Each structure stands twice: as structure tokens, then as C-alpha cells.
Structure 1
């Protein structure tokens, strides 16, 4: 017969057994749970953020520009590797490109973890699993995929092997808090809200296609373009070729893959005369009826300023703009003075580093101390260098009624734009500039007039053909060409700026000025994209 004491002892044994069974069931259940998950949450590799998700990047209409996909990566636990030689030989049958010295050193090491190969295919995974190598495992990671390939490469940028943004809008997204979420583990395996850009993928495709064709047709070393909303500052499209494929960015760091539109600074040639003429008009000291003596060249120090399309007579202000007179532009700048000249360019944002979301933005260059010779040469586009994108932004301010609006790669409404806009010239000056732009597109020099016209759209524009500095001297054979266009010119909605670097003559032509290449590029972009952007053509029967 069981005594009370023995009964109590038996009950204690039963309680202890029940506790052990309960703990065993909990542990077994958790092991089964983790074994069924793709991403073991308590696994720690060499980086703590390889499982971190990134938000999708969308264009303004919801088209996917960048998204995350799952990939598989191979790792080893060297302490569990029985025979490093055999392990490597077996792996090499599936992955023959494995670096022997590096991989073998990792396999025979004493570390608890070592990456062997990132971004494997499902086929590779199944083949390696069939080998049954102890101490070898796989981890599901997030990898970035860009459906459009190189279409918007310079805007979207890049991520590194750990899915962290290192360039373009990918880097901007990290800087806005994604890196902090990753650090505290809140971006791991989560579906994050997508980031919508101002870019229109359809227009972006048109721009890149035009640039690729232009580099081939004009045998240039590079080309670029931007389509800018003149009233909101939104960048609808921007491209620079040569570019790269962010899905396989092996050549992304080559210097010729530079984003020339925002990360390159250039002397913008006669497009700068847009600002010089606007400056003179806005000073109130001249108007459209003013005249400037361009009878003879200007000599200052050792430099003599000539006109390429010289008329050798007194020119009205519209003629200075129409004939792209260097002498006339110099005298326009002289009306304002050296300090006023520099202040105006600062006011238009041409001499300071541009503020926008894209990280790759270069700082303009200018003389350390402005003298009269600097003011004269800068008046027609030599002696200072700025980025093409901020040139387009400044031109938009002169044509949209006089309001400077910082560029953005994110959606921005008209009301938001108005709250941040800064008046830089009077409405009267802007009206005069629109008149000059339209006049120049119709009758301008340099071959741009006929090549700028787009049937159904009233386009205004200004060319710029800048001689490049080669070995410290301006070369008459090597050029950097630009064209600024705006449409509809009476009330511009969009500004298009094109550049082409070192173009060559084509079709039996002896010249390669901007009117023969940069201007047709802009016209082609407008012809193919205006309807996409909602600007319908208007065909007039009466004389323009």
C-alpha cells in the first residue's frame, strides 16, 4: 500500500516529467516552425541587413521602375566542414567560376560563418543540395530588379550586394529613413510602401532612345537630355548616355558613364545668352528697342571678342539674340556691371550647387575673382561651367513668368510649387524672353530654325555651340553643343534641354553646330512625347 510520502514523491516525478515533455514540445514546435520558414529570423550572417526589403520605385503613373525579388545565396559553416578539399571540388562541379584560393581559405577556416556565393539561381541551389555537403547552407535574400534595364539608370541609381542604396534615388531613399529601419530590424522581410517618382516611364523611354540614336548618328562621345515641367519643377525624364544596366552594373563606375545632366559641369555656350539678355532686360536699363554697336570686335587685354555670325553693324536687342552676337551680349552685360552680372547668375541658381533629391550633383565653377574680362566672356557662355540640369531649371524660370522652382524627382503639385517658388525676374522680362525664343526658333542662326519646328506645336528655343578646352586652349574642332526648347511657347508647360558632346558632321555637312544636332534631338523628343504629356497639337491655317 502506497504511503502518503511515496504518493507525494510520485506526484513530484510526474510534474517534473510533464515540465520536461512540455519544454520538449515547445522546442520541437519552434524548430519545425523555423525549419519551414524561408528566412530563419535568428540567423546572423556577416551583415545584419541582407534580408532587409526595399520599397518598390514607381513612375508617376504607377509603372514599376525597381522592385525586390528573392534570390538564394550560398554560405558555409567552416567548423562543420569535414574535408575542405572535397567540399571545394564538389562545389566547383556546379560553380566552376568559384575562386579557388578565396573559397578554400574560407572552407578550411575556423569561422562560424562565411559567404561563398551570392545570388544563385534555383537550379544551382538544387544541384548543390544534391551534393549533400555537410556545413553548406543557403539563405534567401532580397535582390533588386529593374524591369526597364538601363532606361532610367542614372535616375534610379544602384544598390550594393546587401541591397543598400549607393547611388541615385536608391541612395536618396536610404537617406530618408530606410537605413534607420534596417538598423533596428524593421525593414526585414516587410512590404514597404512604394516610392513614386515624378518620372514618366513612357517619356523616359523616348528620351533614352533619342540619345542612343544621336550618339550613333552624330558619332558623338556622349549625349544627354532632360524634360522639365516648367511650372512645378518636376523632372519628367532625364537621360545621359553612355549609361549602364543597373541589373548588371559591371561598368557603372567607368568615367564615361557619368550622369552628365547633374554630375557634370560644362561651359554651356550661347544658351547662356538667354540669361545675359534676360539680365539686361530685367535691369530696366534696356528694352526690346535698345541697340548695341556690333560694328567691330571688342579687345580687352590679350583677348579679342568676335561674332561668329557677324553683321558688322548696330544691332537691336532682338537681333543680338537672333544672330547670337558675342559682341552684343558683352555689351548687354556691361549695362549691368560685373557685380550685377554675378548676382543675377546666383539669383538664377547657376553658380551654386543645385538642391534636389538626386545625390549626384556637381558644383558649378567660376572665376575666383570676377574682372571685366570674365564678365564679358561669361556673357556668351565661356569662363563659367554649370550643370545642364540647373541650366534647364534657370531657363524655365525665365520662361514660366519669372519664378525659380527647385527641380524634383518626386511628384509635386502646382500649389506646392507655388509656395516654394521664388521670383527672379519680372513677368515683363519673361514675356520678352518668350517672344525672343519663338523668334529665334523661327529665324535663328546656326541651322536651328527649320530643325526646331515640330508640326502642331509652337516651340521656342536657343542653341549653344561651345568650343571645348583641349590642352588648355579652346579648340575650334571639338564642341559641346546644347539646345534649350520650351513649348507651347505662349505659356510653356515643358522645357526640354539637350546636350551632345563632340558631335561630327553628317550627311555631307561641313559643320556640326548645335542647330544641326542638339536642336533636332529636342524636336524629336517633343514630337514623340508631347501627346503623352497631354499637350495636343494645334494646326493653324493662318500665318504664324
Structure 2
């Protein structure tokens, strides 16, 4: 046995040495493998952390932009704009297992998605992509049931406009990040998001933005404008109703309008705010301001008369739409809307006085109102402001202002002489401060003239039986770019307007309606003037207002006074 062991001793020794070496190699190999595994885990962990951080950064950034936003309500508390919960689907392409199958399944539930684009994004190195925003509850439920790895929902806030197009130019709209982009949504963005604590005392943090608008009246005005637009095929219209005793705007409608949920689909003319941003020559309705200045400066009185047969100023011959001969009193000049008569009154006033009053009325400055879309008036420079330009301005040509400019300037003409700022916000109970521009007597005389136009002049179709409606019509030829860059007025391209008040004896409501390029019809005997378009529209609005507010008829004795 001993001999056998001695014989195999070298072999056994070699085997032992080999086993020891082999064991060391195995240990080293195992250590290398463990090292690589640890490195792999570390790198994977770091990649996951980076991807997660990028993902979290996207989500957190998104959440910051989709903050709380206050409601907007009308003067009676009716909801106009509100944020509602809305689910949106997003994905992390880094952990989506089967992009092709995922896209195929999602397309069955979301048929409007771009499959090719989504598939490319899911195969990209991105860590965050939006799949579909603002899902319907039924869509969210179906997608959830698919159990797709890498897809999740984000609870968002979607801005809903309860009356859609009806207030698009007043309320405006917000962008995808819930930031106001137009209208009051833009003007009051900080207030609505509570981001400006100076505007939001603790007690007001949840208070909605309350407008002066009465949504019922807004709807009435919109419907009646639509009727006339369709009948006379006008290209646009604007309607404004205000309280002349404090400047609150009760209704403001522009046509065409747009859906504030999808502003990117709107045409430029639909987005344009005619009432505040558009500036136009007002035409004959502007004569009301000239008359008021004439009375207030003492240049004229009710008993004065002028020969309106013929007039020339600076080589320019003035003409009336309906020529008349001989002498006519001041009330008759207003009733018949004589350019010649109004021009003579303008010369009695003097260009210096006239300009001073236009300045007082804010007609030479940018409109001051809450809307960010505001127009700046156009008028002659000091060098070009002469007798001729003053004369043409007296009957509404040569000065361009916004419809809201004109409405504001008319407030003191009908309310006893006080100029108020217009507002789209409901005023509190505090006393409203205004500026005295005209005397009480001037306002009284003007209200008589307004009543005469509706009672026996071109405003007859605005009359509502049993009520004292007052007003003034205006039909203005539009200025166009002619050959060689020369501008000229087009007789077949007009804007017709009507300024009205209810009641004429003590106005509680003032209305301004303007139609752009109405076309004559057989029913109107080939006319498209204000007496056939704007005046009847105002009459229908007044009739429905009377029913809406339960206004009492006016006593006959009040008209006589």
C-alpha cells in the first residue's frame, strides 16, 4: 500500500495543485462576472433614474402650467367659463415593450391619432410623449382595460366655455398651457390664476370674475344680428348694449365669431374684435355728437335755421343723401340728417371748440376698457385739421374710431352730461365717478331730437308701440384703395348703423348696431340703408328686452314733456 502511494504521490500532488489553481480561477472568474453584473446594474439604475428624472421633469413642468383657474360668470352668476377635469394619455417610450401592437390597439379606440407619427415616437429615445389630450371618459376606460405597459393618464384641467361662440370676443380663450391668450382671459390672467396676490386678497381667492354682461341679453342681440346678416348678406356686424348711467356693458356681439375651444381653426376675420379693435368712419350717427357740442357751446339752439340748398368749403361741394331746398330748423336738420346743415353748425362751433370736445370725450385717444384688443383713433394731424376736415368730421367722415369709442362718447349725450368709463365687469354698489362734459340742458335737447328721428324720421322701424324709443341712423360709404393707390369712397359699399336708447325721455339702455356691407333685397325695395337694416334690428332687440325685463309702458304725458 505504501508502495502504491509512493508511486501515485506525484500525480496526487499535481491534482491537488491543479484543484487549488482551478479554484482560484473559478473564484476570480466569479469575481469578474459579479463585477460586470454590478456594473450593469449600476448603469441600468442610473439610466432608469435619468429617464425617470426627465419624465418627472416633464410631468412637473406640465403640472405647473395647468394650475387652478377661477370661473367667469355673468352679472347674474351664470357660468361662462370653468375648468373641468380631463384625462390625457402619455407614454414613456423607454419602457413600452411592443410599439407596433400598442399603436394598433390604441388606434381602435382613438381613430383620429396619427399612427405613423405615434409609432415613430414610441421607437425614439424620448422618455415622455403625449399620445392624446382631453380623452372622453369612455376612451379612458377602454384604454385602461388594455393594460399597456409604459402608458399612463394625467389628470388635467380643461377650460370649458359654456356658451361657446356667444362670448368669444369678450371672454376670449386660453392656450394649451391654460394661460390667457385673448379677451378677459388674457387681461385678467393673474387674477384668474391667483398668481398676483395684490389682486387676490384671501377672501377673494375663490371668487369668480363677474362680468357686467347679461347672457340672456347677449343671446337676444346675437340672434337678431344673425337674422339681419342673413337677410341682407352683410359680411359682418357688431352690436353693443350698455347702461348709460354707469358705463356697464350688458351685451357685446361681433359677427363673425369663433369657437374659443378651437381658436386655431378660426379665420383671422373671425378672431378680430370689431367692437374694440376695429376703427371706422361712423357716418351720420356722428352728427349726434356735433349737435350736442353745438348746444353745449351755445353755437345753436332749437330755433335756429340754416339754408341747406347748397354749400361749398375749400372748393369741395357738400351734398346730402336726399337733397332739400331752403331753410330748415336745427331739429329738421337732425331729422333729415343733412350734411349741409350739420356742416354749417360745425362752422358756428369752430374747429378749436370741436376738437376740445372730441378730446374730452376720449375720441382722440386709445380706448380705455378691460379688453387687451383696443383700437387707436385716426384723425387729421394738426397741420391738416382745417375747416374742410372739421366739416367732414361733423357728419362722420375723416375720423375713424371703434364702436366702443362711439358708445362711450354717447353716454353723456343721453344721461344728463356725465362721461363714464365703459366696463365689462359688474360694478359694485359704490358710487361711480364720472366726468361732466355736457350740461343737463344739452342732454335734454338731444333726447328730444333722438325721439323725433324714431317717431317721424328714418328710425321709424326701431319703434316699439307704447314705449319711447329714441335714436339716430347712419349710412357711411366705405373708403377703398383705388387705382394708383388713390383712395375713394364706394357708393355700393356701405356700412349702416343705428344708435338707439330706451326710453328716450330717461334712457336706461343705449344700443349701437352696425352692419358691414349689407346688400339690397327685393323686400327692402333695393335699399340697404340703416333704416332698413340696423334700425329694425334694434327695434326687435328692444321689444325682446322689454319682455325680458318686464319694462312698463311709457305714459303719453311723459312723451309730451
Q: TM-score, normalised by structure 1?
A: 0.85
Q: CA distance change for structure 1 residues 177 and 132 in 2, over 3 Å: closer, same or farther?
A: closer
Instruction: Find 2:479's aligned residue among 469, 484, 490.
Output: 469
Q: Distance in 2 between matches of 1:522 and 1:238?
A: 13
Asked whether 1:323 is paired with 2:336, we answer yes
Match of 2:70 in 1: 55
Map 1:144-223; keep pairs closer than 5 Å. Answer: 144-176=159-191, 178=193, 180=195, 192-223=206-237
Deviation at 1:274, TM superposition (A): 0.5
Change (3 A) 1:177 1:248: closer
Aligned-partner SS, 2:425: coil
2:244 aligned residue:
230
Mapped pair 1:518 → 2:534: yes
Distance in 2 between residues matched to 1:531 and 1:414, nearest whole Å: 26
Q: 292, 300, 314: which is aligned to 1:278?
A: 292
Question: Larger deviation: 48-57 or 245-254?
Answer: 245-254
Within 5 Å, give how 1:363-378 maps onto structure 2: 363-369=376-382, 370-378=385-393
Deviations 1:23-51 (A, max 9, x none): xxxxxxxxxxxxxxxxx999825534343
Aligned to 1:455: 465
Instruction: Report the secondary structure of 1:202's partner residue.
Output: helix
CA–CA separation in structure 2 for the residues paired with 1:250 and 1:425: 45
Alignment partner of 1:416: what SS? coil
SS at match of 1:90: helix
Q: Per the alignment, in what secondary structure is the counterpart of residue 483 of structure 1?
A: strand
Preserved CA contact (<8 Å) 1:46 1:113: no
Higher helix share: 2
Q: Contact 2:524–2:532 (CA<8 Å) still a contact in 1?
A: no
Residue 362 of structure 1: CA displacement? 1.4
**SS in structure 2 opposite 1:260?**
coil
> Is 1:291 aligned to 2:291, yes or no?
no
TM-superposition CA deviations, 1:485-508 (whole Å, max 9, x none): 011111111101111111122305
- Give 1:496's aligned residue: 511
Using the TM superposition, give the Cα deviation of residue 224 of structure 1 relative to its aligned residue in structure 2, in angstroms.
Answer: 1.7
Give the 3-state SS of the residue equivalent to 2:531 in structure 1. helix
Q: Calculate the aligned-residue CA RMSD, in Å.
A: 2.6
Q: Is the 8 A contact 2:89 2:154 kept in 1?
A: yes
Q: Give 1:138's match in structure 2, choosing from 139, 153, 157.
A: 153
Work out whether residues 88 and 132 of structure 2, in 8 Å CA contact, stay in contact via their aligned partners in 1. yes
Equivalent pair of 1:232/1:413 in contact (CA under 8 Å)? no
Cα distance in 2, alignment partners of residues 371 and 85 from structure 1: 76
Runs of 4+ deviating beyond 6 Å: 40-43
For the pair shown, which has the larger CA radius of gyration, 1 or 2? 2
- Does the 8 Å contact 1:45/1:113 carry over to 2? no
Is contact 1:241-1:257 (8 Å) kept?
A: no
Distance, in Å, in 1 between the alignment partners of 2:245 and 2:340 is 33
Structure 1 unaligned segments of length 5 or more: list them: 1-39
Larger CA deviation: 101-110 vs 303-312: 101-110
C-alpha displacement of 1:393: 1.5
- Stretch moving more, 141-150 or 207-216: 141-150
SS at match of 1:111: coil
Question: Do the aligned partners of 1:53 and 1:191 also contact (CA within 8 Å) in 2?
Answer: no
Give the equivalent residue in structure 1 for 2:79: 64
Q: Which residue of 1 aligns with 2:450?
A: 437
Q: What CA distance in whole angstroms lies between the structure 2 residues aligned with 1:62 and 1:374?
A: 47
Q: Give 1:358's match in structure 2, choosing from 346, 371, 382.
A: 371
Query: Per the alignment, do residues 406 and 337 of structure 1 end up closer, same or farther by CA in structure 2, a change over 3 Å counting?
Result: same
Which stretch has the larger CA shift, 361-370 or 266-275?
Answer: 361-370
- The alignment of Structure 1 onto Structure 2 pairs a total of residues equal to 494
Equivalent runs, 1:104-119 vs 2, <5 Å: 104-119=119-134
Which residue of the partner structure matches residue 554 of structure 2?
A: 538
Cα 1:103–1:368, aligned 2, differ >3 Å: closer, same or farther?
farther
Contact preservation (8 Å) 2:313, 2:387: no
| Alpha-carbon contact 1:80-1:135 (below 8 Å) kept | yes
Q: Which moves more between the two structures, 325-334 or 90-99?
A: 90-99
- 404-413 vs 254-263, which moves further: 254-263
Specify the SS of the correspondent of 2:250. Answer: strand
Distance in 1 (CA, whole Å) between partners of 2:67 and 2:271 is 29
Judging changes above 3 Å, is the alpha-carbon distance between structure 1 residues 93 and 50 closer, same or farther for their aligned structure 2 residues? farther
Match of 2:345 in 1: 332
TM-score (norm 2): 0.83
**For structure 2, which runs of at least 5 residues remain unmatched after alignment?**
1-54, 482-486
Shift of 1:206: 0.5
Change (3 A) 1:211 1:409: same
Distance change in 2, residues 1:503/1:389 (3 Å): same
* Displacement of 1:151: 2.0
